[in-house]
Every structure is written in C-alpha cells, then in structure tokens.
Amino acid sequence: MKKIKKYKPRRLIGGKQFSQKQESARSKGYDAEWDRYRFRFLHHNKDCYACSAPSKVCDHLIPAKVNKEMYFWKLDNFVPLCSSCHSYVTGKFDRLAVPDTEGKMKWLQEQREIRGLNNRVKIVPFKFKDKKRHTR
C-alpha cells in the first residue's frame, strides 16, 4: 500500500512566503560558546535596558546579519532586554532588509526617559578557550 503525502502549507511571515526549512540559530553562530557568554552577560545585567523588567535576552544593538564578523562578538554591541521589549525591537527595527539601528537606539532611549531609568550595561569580557576566533 502506498503512503499518502501530507500537504505542508508554506507559512506567511511579514507578507512573504517562507518554506518550512529556515536557517537554524546554530548555523547563524549561536552555538555553545554563545550560550555560555549569554548566560554570563545576563547574570551581570539582570534588568532590561528599556523597562527594568528581568532581562531574558542578550540582544545585538547592531544586528549580526549586517556584518557577522564585525558585530557578532563585539563587546559593546550587546544590550539586555526582556522578552517583550526584544520582540518589539526585533519586529519593528531588526527584521527590515536594512535594519534601522538608529531608530532602535532612539526607541530604547525614549523608553528609558519615560521610565526615568539610569541603569548601565555592564560589559562582560570573554572567557573562551579559542581566543583567536573572537576579536574584541
């Protein structure tokens, strides 16, 4: 007896069609080293930069897709965000073909002024075995 193929519809994201196969986070560079660094970064930066809720995400100010070699591991390119602020920022500024980094920084600053926040982001140095791979 022959098996019947199931129909797998394509998903619509942002008005564009994407197939089920998308690039994984691991293939984009978010590997075990990233997981370790992210954990350390969030341990030292416990509050969201925009709203002071508990931070859950280590976000790149300038998205790594702009220039992965230059911005992915740059120490001053990380900011702690809560899940809701990260979702808003990613959807509004980072998902564009050319990310709107200036708009993202302006939105973050406006949110901090509205809430009267003055917390700073603590820069956490790398502690990797393979120092050649990461540039500071």
| Number of domains comprising the chain | 1
pLDDT tens for residues 88-106?
999 899 888 888 999 999 9
Residues in CB range of 62: below 8 A, 6 or more apart: 71, 74, 77, 99, 101
| Mean of the per-residue pLDDT values of the chain | 83
pLDDT string in tens for the chain (136-residue length):
666 666 655 555 555 555 556 677 777 778 888 899 999 999 999 999 999 999 999 999 998 888 888 888 899 999 999 999 999 999 899 888 888 999 999 999 999 999 999 999 999 988 765 444 555 4
For residue 29, being part of any structural domain is answered with no
For residue 106, being part of any structural domain is answered with yes
For residue 24, being part of any structural domain is answered with no
Full residue range of the structural domain in which residue 84 is found: 49-120
For residue 7, being part of any structural domain is answered with no
pLDDT of residue 132: 47
CA angle centred on 108, ends 105 and 112, rounded to 5°: 135
